[in-house]
Structures are given as C-alpha cells and as structure tokens.
Amino acid sequence: MVDAGPCCVPSGAPAMSVERAEALSRQFKAIADPNRLRLVSLIYSSAENEACVCDLTELLSLGQPTVSHHLKILVDAGILHREKRGVWAYFSIVPGALDALAGVLTEPE
Amino acid sequence: MVDAGPCCVPSGAPAMSVERAEALSRQFKAIADPNRLRLVSLIYSSAENEACVCDLTELLSLGQPTVSHHLKILVDAGILHREKRGVWAYFSIVPGALDALAGVLTEPE
C-alpha cells in the first residue's frame, strides 16, 4: 500500500472531555425517543408549563405505565421535575435544562 | 379503588406529530453518543470547520474503523457532510443542522 502522507496538520483542538461527553450523552439519549420528545413538547405547550400523567396519557393515546416509564427517564436525566400534589404527579420542565442542551448544539465545544 | 376525579382539565394542546417526533428522534440518537459528541465538537473547533478521518482518529485515540462508523451515523442523520478529496475524506457540519435541533429544544412544539 502506498503511504498517502498526512492528510492535514492536526488542529490540536482539545476534544470535549470524555466525562462531559458521557454526561451530555445521557441527557440526549433521554430526549432521543419519539414518545419522550412528544411528552416534552406537550408539557412545554401546556398551560402553566406543567401537566399531570392523566393528561399526558390521554393526549398521547398511550397506557399510563408506558407514559410513567418515559417520564421517569426524563426526570432521572434532569430534564423534567416531578411534584406530587394530592393523588396526582405533575411534571414540568427543569428551568434551563433544555436551553443548556441546546447550547451544546449551537456551540459544541 | 376510589375515583380520584380528574387531575386537571386537558389543555387540548396538540402533541408534536408522530412523524416529526420520529424524524427528530433519529437525529438526536445520532448525536446522543459520547464519541459522536466529541467528533462533532472536534469538527466544530477545527480550522475551516472541517476535519479528516486521520485527524479525528488521532485526537480521539480511537481506531479508524470505529471513527468511520461513528462518522457514517452522523452523515446518515444529516448532521455531517462528507467530501472525498484525493485519498482522504473530509467531514464538516451540515449548515443549520445543529441549529435546527437546538431550536427543537428551546421551543419544543
């Protein structure tokens, strides 16, 4: 095989650290699901920017265990906040969580 | 079981369509991997906003087949553009692709 020589001079740019990439990856994985994207969209669009499980279950035409499973993943990833009031759990978007992820995409450094 | 009554009045907000959620989910899945986040970050930070495989392989300390695999996923998702020049392939970020995804996060409707 012929040695093609260097393709370019390495830029020397530091890569995003492994630790930061892994933490961000967990949050992006939480959002990277069609049902979870729709849940976040519904909560964002709801009056008061919060919604209860029953509301979300009805709007998405999914079973409550399925919706609760997806909501838990979003809560564990720090994207949604869960608050129990009476018999119902209400979900809202953690302030700044989505903006922080968006910032990674607009300036992925 | 006692009927707890309605938790809230459904907002009637339309959910993001299934088709749009599935398309966006494919792009978020492409980015939701630590190595792919680091690749995008490196290309974004490179001079001329492009990098060749050899450069990326060296900076990430990964094998070239692994890097090529991750780059292909990003190209297939419409996030990276691939251009062959001579013996090397150069990768750049598709203009607007990351901004569009960021927009979904800042206004998830």
Residue A94's pLDDT band, with cuts at 50, 70 and 90, is: very high
Residue B81 predicted with pLDDT over 90: yes
Residue A47's pLDDT band, with cuts at 50, 70 and 90, is: confident
- pLDDT of the residue at A37: 96
The chain-wide mean pLDDT, for chain B, equals 87
Residue pointed to by tokens 């938790």? B7
Nearest to B18 among A11, A34, A103 (CB): A34
CB A46 within 8 A of CB A24: no
For residue B44, being part of any structural domain is answered with: yes
Tokens for B34, please give them.
């630590």
Residues spanned by the domain of A91? 20-103
Residue A29's pLDDT band, with cuts at 50, 70 and 90, is: very high
Torsion of CA B25, B30, B32, B34, to 10 degrees: 180
Structural domain count, chain B: 1
Residue A24 predicted with pLDDT over 70: yes
For residue B48, being part of any structural domain is answered with: yes
CB contact under 8 A, A8 and B34: no
For residue B86, being part of any structural domain is answered with: yes
For residue A90, being part of any structural domain is answered with: yes
CB contact under 8 A, A38 and B21: yes
Residue B78's pLDDT band, with cuts at 50, 70 and 90, is: very high
For residue A10, being part of any structural domain is answered with: no
* Alpha-carbon gap, residue A108 to A105, rounded angstroms: 5
Residue A12 predicted with pLDDT over 50: yes
Substitution target from A16, A99, A105 for chain B, most B beta carbons within 10 A: A105
Torsion of CA B72, B106, A55, B7, to 10 degrees: 140
Nearest to B32 among A18, A28, A46 (CB): A28
Q: How many angstroms away from the CA of B42 is the closest CA of chain A?
A: 6
Nearest to B34 among A18, A58, A60 (CB): A18
In the predicted model, what is the mean pLDDT of residues A11-28?
85
- pLDDT of the residue at A92: 96
In the predicted model, what is the mean pLDDT of residues A47-63?
87
- 3-class SS string, A55-81: HHHHHHCCCHHHHHHHHHHHHHCCCEE
For residue A4, being part of any structural domain is answered with: no
For residue A3, being part of any structural domain is answered with: no
CA distances for A57 relative to A67, A85, A95, angstroms: 6, 18, 23
Torsion of CA A48, A56, A92, B77, to 10 degrees: -120
Whole-complex ipTM: 0.86
In the predicted model, what is the mean pLDDT of residues B20-34?
96
For residue A93, being part of any structural domain is answered with: yes
Q: Output the domain CATH number for residue B67.
A: 1.10.10.10
Substitution target from B36, B37, B92 for chain A, most A beta carbons within 10 A: B37
| Angle CA B94–B46–B98, to nearest 5 | 30
